[in-house]
Structure 1
């Protein structure tokens, strides 16, 4: 396993675009720029391809899902080719596509991670927000994909997923040392919920979290995506040998930019072995199970 990972995480700017070509070209430019700066992995945000909806008149959510799903082949081919060309792994945000084996009209909010060797890993969002449950024709993911990378095991927890400690703990117990969190939050409230939960999960499980997000706004509202609030970053446990606040690197709030950070897995193992506290190892599962039985849940 490689001891260090240079990761680029994107504060992706929502802005008016004139064509689909402009959308894809803008993404390719960000990937090439990150690769030139030495990044080995780039993380784009949740709902990134929904930017394409700005090229069309406003749609209902089911119409928007069908519109985006029709671009799935283009999306996967584009990112597979770009990853191979630039020799960088690309978490291509999330993309709305048809649920495999689901009912007609069922869609998932799915993150795809493309590797230069042609491998692809995917993760459907497990916890749907109230809006996604009510307004979107989305169905939740039913399994957690823990996958091997040159930098150890990783998992993808999309936005709201990071607000559920059980999911990150399940990933950590399966050996995950880095959680990738593509997000879309349209307010300071939503952003800070996700951000603070990212940092809490890093402390609880003594691992790295990489957060990306949408920023900026479209000139015309779209019911699905129109404005974003984010400060992307990479986070570690708030303990030695890391910084007291657990921030490895963070961007400038709401600016269209890419944040580069170094994840040093030697330091992570040092933290797990010699940190002031060891919340990942000092868990008391039998105690929690007993309390769960008492609660009846």
Structure 2
């Protein structure tokens, strides 16, 4: 187990704007600028959204989902080199959104977290949306990666994954105190589902959740990604010693922006010891299993 050396972590969550970037070089330059700005503001981690590299599809003629996945997967080595170098240069960890990667039998919607020392953690999306199941050639992930960092155990739940409480609970039981949620939600309906589930996961597991998302709209439509709605933010339990609504930071409008928040893991431990309620510790898994078994035979 890695030694925990940071009790406080400043997190930059991004509302990555879908605009007409005009060139591939501008795509990479924007990301570099955002990361360096976050590092300059004292962030130790920046979280980019789900399907961020799909913005590159706006630079090429419209294609099928199969073609789009192949096009993006061909850029995986370039993507990895860019973010590994950027993390080393800036000295901060970068959750580089999600990227379509090749796996046996198809493709995965995969998140990559790059560290300045060259380490890379990966997480495939476990729960694919109906759109991803029916139209994209994607394969769901089968494992949850809970990994050590300088600030403690962390995991990545990609967008729809945050809507399944069992997955976050499994991460919390394994020691995770920070959930990172890169998301892509096309409408406000989808955003608020993800946002409120993120806050619910923070309450029921007494941990922090950092949410990022795509925002804005392209001039020309694309079958994959062309419009999005999101307010990035970082959330804590709605209990002592945090603010009543649990919102540590939140974007103001669905447009290109970076939202900074500091999470204090000493305060999280204080919440777990002295909060008004203790939903993480007061859970009754044996009872739940009994009730689920009843449901299976009724």
**TM-score (normalizing by structure 2):** 0.98
1:274 and 2:286 are equivalent in the alignment: no
Instruction: Kindly indicate whether the alpha-carbon contact (under 8 Å) linking 1:12 and 1:45 is maintained by their aligned counterparts in 2.
Output: yes
Q: CA deviation at 1:255?
A: 2.0
Q: CA deviation at 1:56?
A: 0.6
Instruction: Give secondary structure in 2 for the equivalent of 1:6.
Output: strand
Alpha-carbon distance between aligned partners in 1 of 2:282 and 2:30, rounded to the nearest angstrom = 46
Alpha-carbon distance between aligned partners in 2 of 1:21 and 1:39, rounded to the nearest angstrom = 25
Unaligned segments of structure 1, at least 5 residues: none
**How many residues get paired?**
293
Residue equivalent to 2:174 = 174
Residue equivalent to 2:211 = 211
Residue equivalent to 1:33 = 37
Instruction: Kindly indicate whether the alpha-carbon contact (under 8 Å) linking 1:229 and 1:253 is maintained by their aligned counterparts in 2.
Output: no
Residue equivalent to 1:265 = 265
Alpha-carbon distance between aligned partners in 2 of 1:285 and 1:136, rounded to the nearest angstrom = 36
Residue equivalent to 1:56 = 60
Instruction: Kindly indicate whether the alpha-carbon contact (under 8 Å) linking 1:8 and 1:42 is maintained by their aligned counterparts in 2.
Output: yes
1:90-111 CA distances to partner (integer Å, 9 max, x unpaired)? 0000000101xx22xx000000
Instruction: Give secondary structure in 2 for the equivalent of 1:180.
Output: strand
What is the 5 A alignment of 1:130-209?
Answer: 130-209=130-209
Alpha-carbon distance between aligned partners in 1 of 2:161 and 2:253, rounded to the nearest angstrom = 22
1:29-53 CA distances to partner (integer Å, 9 max, x unpaired)? 0000000000000000000000000
Instruction: Give secondary structure in 1 for the equivalent of 2:258.
Output: strand
Q: CA deviation at 1:19?
A: 1.1
Instruction: Give secondary structure in 2 for the equivalent of 1:149.
Output: coil
1:76 and 2:64 are equivalent in the alignment: no
Alpha-carbon distance between aligned partners in 2 of 1:17 and 1:208, rounded to the nearest angstrom = 33
Q: CA deviation at 1:149?
A: 0.4
Residue equivalent to 1:237 = 237
Q: C-alpha root-mean-square deviation of aligned residues, in Å?
A: 0.6
Residue equivalent to 1:254 = 254
Alpha-carbon distance between aligned partners in 2 of 1:51 and 1:286, rounded to the nearest angstrom = 46
Alpha-carbon distance between aligned partners in 2 of 1:217 and 1:89, rounded to the nearest angstrom = 28
1:221-278 CA distances to partner (integer Å, 9 max, x unpaired)? 0010000100000000000100000000111120211000000000000000000000
Instruction: Kindly indicate whether the alpha-carbon contact (under 8 Å) linking 1:162 and 1:201 is maintained by their aligned counterparts in 2.
Output: yes
What is the 5 A alignment of 1:50-129?
Answer: 50-99=54-103, 102-103=104-105, 106-129=106-129
Give the ranges of 4+ consecutive aligned residues of structure 1 lying more than 2 Å apart after TM superposition. Answer: none
Q: CA deviation at 1:60?
A: 0.3
Alpha-carbon distance between aligned partners in 2 of 1:79 and 1:211, rounded to the nearest angstrom = 20
Instruction: Give secondary structure in 2 for the equivalent of 1:287.
Output: helix
Unaligned segments of structure 2, at least 5 residues: none
Alpha-carbon distance between aligned partners in 2 of 1:52 and 1:12, rounded to the nearest angstrom = 13
